Amino acid sequence: MLPPIFTICAADAAVTALLGSDPTRLHPFGKAPQRVALPYAVWRIPTGAPENYLDSAPDVDRWRLQVDVYAGNGNDATAVTEALRDAIEPHAHIVRWGDTDTDPETGNRHISFDVSWHVPR
């Protein structure tokens, strides 16, 4: 029922080349371990809803995901963002490019983007 972002991205060679494979450093929001190695990414679901119909039960769930990439420098943040984009786009749509900034607490570079993912039931 949930969008398969981890499954899709962890199966992509370009993503695992940057985020590792044991473990892949793509975590649900709030679940990244303390002092996680850079670069890494987190994702969360700000909203979701079934595709409702008047004459039948929903057959698709629609999700909006926010993905945040963190890296030690801008080049690494961009490389991870591009790898995630390329892994996700055959399955879902990037619908917003967000912040590109520096985290004030850690000094890490940060890039944010949103994904619209329709998941068949």
pLDDT digits (tens, 9 = 90+) for 93-110: 999 999 999 999 999 999
pLDDT-derived band at 1 (thresholds 50, 70, 90) equals confident
Alpha-carbon distance of 41 to 77, in angstroms, equals 9
Query: Average pLDDT of 60-68?
Result: 98
CATH architecture under which domain 5-120 falls: 2-Layer Sandwich (3.30)
From 70, 79, 72, select the one nearest 100 (Cα to Cα): 70
Domain chopping of the chain, boundaries: 5-120
Question: pLDDT at position 75, please?
Answer: 98
Tell me the mean pLDDT in the region 8-17. 99
Is pLDDT of 78 > 80? yes
Kindly state the average pLDDT of the residues 47-68: 97
